[in-house]
Structures are given as structure tokens and as C-alpha cells.
Amino acid sequence: MLRARALVGFAVACGAFVPAVFAQTDVAGDWDQAGGGIFGFQEEFLDRGGGPDLGDYAGLPINDALRYKASLYSPSWLTVPEHQCLPHPSTYQYRSPGGLSIVKEYDSVTQQLVAYHFFGSYGLARTVWMDGRPHPPAAARHTYEGFSTGRWEGNRLAVETTHLKAGFLRRNGIAHSDRARMLEYWVRHDDYLALVTAVDDPLYLDEPFVRSTDFRLDPRANTRLAEFGGFANGGDGEGFGASDVFYKCVPSEEIAIERGRVPSFMPGANDSLDMFAKRHAVPLAAALGGSATLYPEFAQSLRAGGSAAGGEPSAARSPQSASPSAARSRRSPESPAVAPSAPTAVTSMHVAGRVWLVTAGDRNVAVQVGDEGVLIVNPGPEALAEDVLAKIHELAPDKRVRVIVMTDDDALHIGGTAKLAAGPTPRAQRAAVIAHENASLRIAAAESSEGHSPTDTFFRGTRELFFNGEPIEIIHAPAATSDGDLLVFLRESDVVVAGSVIPDLTYPAIRTDEGGTVNGTIEALNRILDLTIAEYRAQGGTTVITDRGRVYDEGDVAEYRDMLTITRDRVQDAIDKGLTLEQVKAARLARDYDGRYGAESGPASADVFMTTMYRSLAAAPK
Amino acid sequence: MESWGELRPLAALASFAFALAAAGQPPTPQAPRSPRAAAQFDVTGNWVAQITEDWRWRMITPPKGDYASVPLNQAGRQAADRWDPAADAAAGEQCRAFGAGGLMRLPTRLKIGWADDTTLRVETDLGQQVRTLHFGETVQDPGARSWQGHSVAEWLGVAQAANPFGGLVAPTQEAAAARSGVGPGAGGPASAVVPVARGSLKVMTTNLRPGYLRKNGVPYSEQAIVTEYLDRFAMFGNDYLQVVTVVTDPMYLTTPFVVSNQFKREPDDSKWNPTACATDAPAGTFQRPTF
């Protein structure tokens, strides 16, 4: 009797507690598209299924820079080997077919929730960390899924994602940059799951791009993953279950495309830009999007046939012509999750294998540590040499700097050489300092060369070194940003140090008066792509340490190579058509990239870069 | 008969359960709060639709027969193919596309306010419609069918109790995040995420006149039930109202039709532009996709 009463009491207590608290709040489970099945889209049917038309930007808050970029996008871009396995980024992946499985991970000791893992929906497996860990530093790798942290706000899971790679927002060239951030809310309502995403990109969007995706609970939805070859690796040799094609991918030569070619339309040459406008009988200016096209006033204008929608794109809306409103967009992102480094800060971050990245202000110093001592690629500016050395001592106590490699003669690369190369005592042996002969000659000719001069130079294509148990290739990149650029490939750590060839934050500063050329710089980028191997879906694998900014992988190098190649092709096209430098500048042929890579001033500023580009190409042999 | 020693574990378990239940309850009995006082978020104010999805079906009147992605059955397709905007206008049925099944999908502004402690009033400038959302109604005569039907609303919330098992219930982690300063925005200044809501608003609408899911005559019948879930989010300094609409209709739909729509808060009603219901000619001729 007593037992029965106790059981009843327990049941009553649980009954009073559970329903209110646990009422269908969690997002974990197996989910299908809202309409059921793999392709059960009930919104954005064409965009999410067969794919959008070219020139369909209606309802997207894009700025002129992105409109221009997208208008010159060619689907053939996907035939480039580095792009064949591109996954959908987390900003887009839930728009894709397939089922969605959300799984919780608990700490086995504390039994606290650590993370949610998201699988399926055509995208990468993704983790949302719930354990309070901070976002990585600014210099860390970016990925297509980004780095996500979450927390509960009432009945909704709030997620913030940073460290995104550039990726499609719509599969017709509408893409966000690697400066984008995403906020998400996942909310369960009865047996439906709503996902609301807001992507903010200060480079390409005039306001956050908000959209929503709906799913419905279906315990069978996890089988959709297998239908896409994700988990089961099964299939019957036909259809979606045939292979791992959607989740595993290896680039292949499906068509003949010459090494380094990046397909894109030349300005004014995209005859399909009005595909959407014609198909749906809307003015081209409406099809080409912008914030105005999101709001009721635009619908009223369309109904009235008014001027806001227009019959043809106005000068300010035409993606093919330059306009003042297409000026570089540098909206400051609100509340950045990742604070930029202070200009004099010296920090360190493990990169891969034996290699560390030490940031010296905005310059990157690559440091290899091992039993034999320390190898440094580009010691950084002189003013921060003491701090850099102190940081290296933290990483490698009791180890001496044995080898320094200068990737060129830039004073901000080599200024710290004297300090870092010196031994612990005045009579101790200095570190070996390696540079290309052409860079060495300029260093020797400089007024403040004392202590910086290389001890070891070379003329031929490659210098080999075996240090700290690791084979190292030091590769001359002829006629890149100068005639003395080096790339350093640490084979076992699988790290490439790119030096001035990839400044990340800006256009490359190409010194044409010192043997630098645009085409040579592009060739150097393609050489780096020869060295890199992506681990999975066009990311990961070989790490590339840039001159400034964050570390890259193959996908990032390809993005930078694409930028330079596409811009080169546009300027070459203009030169071939007889345009003068002034006309090319007025056309602002790189306005889709100026916001991302144009420095405030100097050789990497948009204006000087275009001048350099034009003169380099005009002087190049045909 | 069992000894007390045998029953001690059960008793402890029951005590623990009672303690948990007590932790989730207010310390003293209180009078039930009104729906207005119990609101999980402030839904009132001026909101403007942002049409970032299905633009060609929402900002313009699509061609007849363009009902892609709507799960119509044979009868539904036949009804859509019979759409005649001139006939609708002649019959005085210009508001067919402005009923509760399709209204929130349109490029409109909303003005939302409490009519009283148990009734929300939702106005649109496009079509000049008024929706009345009744909280807590059990039995009432809804009267004649109408474009906006009869709507019953309820708040979907979460209890304010801590969850000793971790993970599932929001307040625990939210509090932990607040204490540690982690979560979205960590590593930088103040987070871009500012909680503005803890729960959702659910609205179920019946007693509808037949209407359109899209302006080109994609139909729902008088048997349709419209279930909506409203949420409010703050993202990147903007305030958004999200409306998920689920339409079930045994006459015209094979499965529920689920769409979601977002509205952005506006500071005032200075852009409020009342316009009457209208039937528009479709833009162009429908070309069926070939993929």
C-alpha cells in the first residue's frame, strides 16, 4: 500500500512538472522538408530545386558590388577543379534537398550538453557548440560551415556563426563574402521546425538578408540521408542512392579546362542576364534586386508601372556600368564576434604539425619548432622583433633560431631579422638567413640593411632543406609581386607560406619596377594550388599562411586566385578593346572586389592596383 | 506489507519529484494572468513585410496555372486553372487573395495592437483587412464565414523552472550564458542577439470563406484550417516578426501547405498606405519549368 502511494506521488509530481517544461521545445530529431520527402519544398521551389535563373536577384538586399559580381558569374565556374566539390555553406545548406538530422552531444562525465550536430540537407555536417567556448581568433581558418555557438532564448535556439568562407546565397552567382556573419533561430512549433537565418555582409548586402526554412518531424527522415549516399554508402547503382557523390567528392576532369582558367562573363557580355526578367515579365531593374525590391512600395510601383521599378535598369542599377553608388561598401558589421588584432599585438596560434603562426601587428610570421631549433619565415617588422622573439621563446623554450627564410625584401617582412637571427651571446653563431638572390641584392642596396643581409641565397627554381625532421621546399616564384618572391612548403606539416603573393587583407602589391607582374603573381597562386590538397569538400587539408590576415586553405587560395584572374581578364579584355587607363579606371572593373581587397592607400589601393594591372598587362608580351 | 526501509528509495524519489515540481511553480498561488499580461513577447506595433522568398509569386500576380510547390490535388489544380480575375471582380470577390490563408504572404504592412486584454487586432494596409485573434475562447458562435474567419490564439511558452537534467530547457543555459558571458557574440563586444521573446504565439483560424493562397487563384476552400505560429527575433539591430503559416484543406490540398513570412518592425505608421482589395492581371504567361 505504501509503495502504491509513493508511486502515485511520484507520478503526480512528474506530471505536474514535465508537461510545462518539456513541451516540444527541443530541436533534436529527424526532420523532413516541410512538404515531405527530399524535394518537398513549398517555398523557393525553383531556387532550391532545379536552380534559379541567371539574373534572378529580386527580393535580395544586394548592393551594386554584388549585383555586378553576380551579373558576370558563369555557371562554368563550377568546372574549375578547385570548385567542383564546393559544398553549400551553412548560410545556404538548409535550403537544399534531403532530410535533416539534429543530434545532441553530451559530456560523458558532467552530462552537460556540449553541442548540437546537424547532418544532412545536402550540406556539410555541422556543429553548434553549446558549452560556452569562445569563437576562434581572427587569424583562424574559415570554413563553409563556419564556427557556430548557440544558446537557448526561451523556446528558441539562437546560433551565431563566424569564420565563414565566401559562398553562395543563391546558386546564380549571388554570394556572400568571407566577412559575412550569420544569426539563426531554430524554433519548434508542434511538429514543425522553423529556421530563421539572417546573414549580414558589410561588403555585399545593404541590410541583413533574412529568410526562413521549414521542416516537419518525421522519424523516417534520417533515411533521406542514406538516399543521398551520406551514411549508408549504399544504393542500388542508380539515382540518389548510387554513391557518396553528395557528401564525398573528388575533382575530376569532366571537361577540358586549361590550368588556371577561371570562367566568367566579361562586362557587358552576359546575354542571359535578363533570363528571369523575360520569363516572368518583370522589368530588368526589378529582377536585379536590391533592398527596395523587398518592400510593399516596390509592389505598388510595379502595379502602377511606375518609375521605381523602371522598364530598364537605370544607370545606377545597371550591373554592367560603373556608378557612384557602386562605391566600395564598407558598412561596419555590428558587434563583430571576432575582434581584429591590435596593430602592435603579438599573438600565436598553432597552425599544423610543427608550424605556428605568430602575428606581429598585421604581419604574419611563420614559425617551425622542432628538436633542431626554430625556423622562421619572415621575421616581421623591426619594431616588434623583441615581442616576436619573446613569443617564440614561449613556444620553444631553450631553442635557438637556426634558420630564417625571407620570402622577399619587404621591410615589414625582414625588419626583425637582425634581432631574431642573433645568437644568445655575441659570439654565438647567427641563424642562417635564406633569400632569393634578387631580393638579397635589393636588401644589400638598402640603407638600413645592417644585420638583415641574407647569408644564403640561390638563383635556381627551388632550394631544398631538411630541418626538424621535415623536408622543406623553398620555391622561387619568378616575376610575381617582384623578381625575388619565395614560397615555402613545409611538407610534413603540410603548410605553405605564401609571403607577398597572398596578402589576404588587400590586393597584392605588385612592384613592376622590381620585376613584378600580374601574370607572374597569378602563376604563383596557381603554383600554390598545385601544392595544396583539400581534405574534404574543397576545404581543410594543406594550410597556407598568408602575408597578413587569416590563414587559408585551398578553397581560400582559389578564391584569391579567382579574384586576380577574373580582374586580369576584364582588364585584358578592355585593353584588347582599346580602352585607355583612364577609361578602365572609370569603368571600375574590379568594383566587386574593391571593398574586400582595396587598401585605403598605397600600392594595394583600388586605384593604384588598377594602374599597376593595366600597365603590367599592356607591357606583357602577347 | 513493505517495511519503511524498502520504501525509502521510492519516498526519496517522490520527494525529489515534488521538489522539482515546486521549483517550477510560483511560491504562492496567484490569480491567472490575462493573455495580455502573460504575453511571451510584445507583438504589438508596426511591421512591414520583407519579401525575400517566392518573390515572383508574391510581389507580382503570377500567371494562371503557376501553382508550383503548392500541394494541390486534382480538384485544386482544376480550380486554379479556372481562375478568372475579371469574374472575381464582377462578383465583388476582389478580396479572395486577402483572406487569412494568404494574407500574411502579401507585401503588406501590419498594425498590431491589443483590442482588450484577451483580443489582439491585426490590421493590414494592403486590402484593408482586420484580423481579430481571440485568446482563451472555448465555445462561441463564430457567425458567418468571412475572409479572416474565426481565430483563436494561445501563447506557447516555456516554464521558468531550471532543468536539473541539463540541456533541454532554455532558462538553464540562458542563465549560464549570461553568467559566463558566452554564447553568440562571444569574443567581441555586446552580442548582436538581444532576447526579445521567450515563447511563441499560436493562432488557429477556421470558419473561412474560400480564398486564394496566391493571387493567381491558387485555392483554399471553406474547409481550410489555417494554423499560424508567430515569433519575434532581434537580429543585427533589427526587430523581426516571423509568421509560419500552415494551411490544411481536405478539399484542395494533399498535404499541409507550410510557408513562413517575415516582417520588420517600423518605428511608426508613417508609411501606412491603405489600399482596397484588387484583382490584378497576371504578369506574363506561365512557362512550365522543363527540368
**B 191-250 → A contacts, CB under 8 A:** 191-193, 195, 197-200, 202, 229, 231, 233, 235-238, 240, 242, 244, 246
Residue B280 has what pLDDT?
84
What are the chain A neighbours of B49 within 8 Å (beta carbons)? 295-296
Looking at the structure, do residues A33 and A72 belong to the same domain, yes or no? yes
Weakest-pLDDT range from A156-170, A249-263, B113-127, B167-181: B167-181
Query: What is the domain count for chain A?
Result: 2
Contact A610/A585 with Cβ under 8 angstroms?
yes
What are the chain B neighbours of A10 within 8 Å (beta carbons)? 10, 13-14, 17
Q: In 3D, which of A421, A414, A419, A475 has the Cα closest to residue A446? A: A414
Looking at the structure, do residues A336 and A366 belong to the same domain, yes or no? no
How many beta carbons lie within 10 A of that of residue B78, not counting itself? 12
Query: Would you give the end-to-end CA distance of chain B in angstroms?
Result: 75
Span B56-103, pLDDT tens digits? 999 999 999 999 999 999 999 999 999 999 999 999 999 999 999 999
How many beta carbons lie within 10 A of that of residue A456, not counting itself? 15
Q: Is residue A12 assigned to a domain?
A: no
Give the rounded percent of residues in chain B with a pLDDT score beyond 90.
Answer: 67
Residue B227 has what pLDDT?
98
Looking at the structure, do residues A170 and A92 belong to the same domain, yes or no? yes
Contact A189/A48 with Cβ under 8 angstroms?
no
Q: Is residue A74 assigned to a domain?
A: yes
Cβ distance of B236 and A23 shorter than 8 Å:
no
Looking at the structure, do residues A400 and A491 belong to the same domain, yes or no? yes
Write down the residue that cell numbers 527575433 correspond to. Answer: B233
**B 96-125 → A contacts, CB under 8 A:** 107-109, 125
Give the ipTM of the model, two decimals please: 0.88
Cβ distance of B184 and A158 shorter than 8 Å:
yes
- Minimal Cβ distance to B200: which of A26, A189, A293: A189
What are the chain A neighbours of B10 within 8 Å (beta carbons)? 3, 6-7, 10
- Minimal Cβ distance to B174: which of A7, A43, A153: A153
Cβ distance of B10 and A14 shorter than 8 Å:
no
- Which chain B residue's Cα is nearest to A155? B199
- Which chain A residue's Cα is nearest to B174? A152
Cβ distance of B170 and A152 shorter than 8 Å:
yes
Q: Is residue A377 assigned to a domain?
A: yes
Q: How far is A48 from chain B (nearest CA, A)?
A: 11
Q: How far is A201 from chain B (nearest CA, A)?
A: 11
Distance of alpha carbon B27 from alpha carbon A63, whole angstroms: 55
In DSSP terms, which residues pair with A126 in a beta bridge? A118
Q: Is residue A198 assigned to a domain?
A: yes
Put simply, whether B269 touches A (Cβ < 8 Å) is no
Predicted structure pTM score? 0.88
Q: In 3D, which of A216, A161, A119, A104 has the Cα closest to residue B173? A: A104
Looking at the structure, do residues A300 and A420 belong to the same domain, yes or no? no
Cβ distance of A22 and B168 shorter than 8 Å:
yes
Interface test with A, best of B59, B245, B288 (most A CBs within 10 A): B59
Q: Which amino acid is at B85?
A: P
- Minimal Cβ distance to A296: which of B7, B48, B156: B48
Looking at the structure, do residues A52 and A178 belong to the same domain, yes or no? yes
Cβ distance of A17 and B24 shorter than 8 Å:
yes
How wide is the angle at C-alpha A349 spanned by C-alphas A346 and A352, nearest 5°? 145
Looking at the structure, do residues A369 and A326 belong to the same domain, yes or no? no
Distance of alpha carbon A381 from alpha carbon A413, whole angstroms: 6
Cβ distance of B233 and A212 shorter than 8 Å:
no
Q: Is residue A280 assigned to a domain?
A: yes
- Which chain B residue's Cα is nearest to A215? B258
Looking at the structure, do residues A302 and A157 belong to the same domain, yes or no? yes
Q: Is residue A612 assigned to a domain?
A: yes
In DSSP terms, which residues pair with A373 in a beta bridge? A370
Sheet holding A456-458, edge to edge: A346-352, A355-360, A363-370, A373-377, A401-405, A432-436, A456-458
Span B20-51, pLDDT tens digits? 444 445 556 667 889 999 999 999 999 999 99
Q: How many CB pairs under 8 A join A and B?
A: 313
Q: Is residue A2 assigned to a domain?
A: no
Cβ distance of B70 and A198 shorter than 8 Å:
no
Cell numbers linked to A355? 608550424
Contact A182/A145 with Cβ under 8 angstroms?
no
DSSP tag of A333: P
Residue A23 has what pLDDT?
44
CATH code of the domain containing A358? 3.60.15.10
Looking at the structure, do residues A110 and A245 belong to the same domain, yes or no? yes
Looking at the structure, do residues A334 and A351 belong to the same domain, yes or no? no
Last residue of a domain, one of A317, A340, A363: A340
Last residue of a domain, one of A294, A320, A340: A340
Q: Is residue A7 assigned to a domain?
A: no
Q: In sequence order, which ranges of chain B are alpha helices (DSSP H)?
A: 4-23, 55-58, 74-81, 85-90, 170-180
Q: Is B204 helix (H, G, I), strand (E, B) or coil?
A: strand
Q: In sequence order, which ranges of A249-351 are alpha helices (DSSP H)?
A: 275-280, 284-287, 296-304
| Chain centroid offset of residue A224 CA | 29
Looking at the structure, do residues A532 and A577 belong to the same domain, yes or no? yes
- pLDDT beneath 70, residues of chain A: 1-24, 123, 222-248, 306-343, 447-450, 622
What are the chain B neighbours of A300 within 8 Å (beta carbons)? 273, 275
Residue B169 has what pLDDT?
35
Sheet holding A470-477, edge to edge: A462-467, A470-477, A485-490, A495-499, A543-546
Cell numbers linked to A593? 572586389
Looking at the structure, do residues A282 and A401 belong to the same domain, yes or no? no
Last residue of a domain, one of A340, A372, A397: A340
CB-based burial, A229-243: b 16+ in 10 Å, e otherwise: bbeeeebeeeebbee
Q: In 3D, which of B227, B205, B62, B80 has the Cα closest to residue B146? A: B205
Structural domain boundaries, residue A577: 346-619
What are the chain B neighbours of A7 within 8 Å (beta carbons)? 10, 14
Q: Do β-strands A543-546 and A495-499 pair in parallel, antiparallel, or remain unpaired? A: parallel
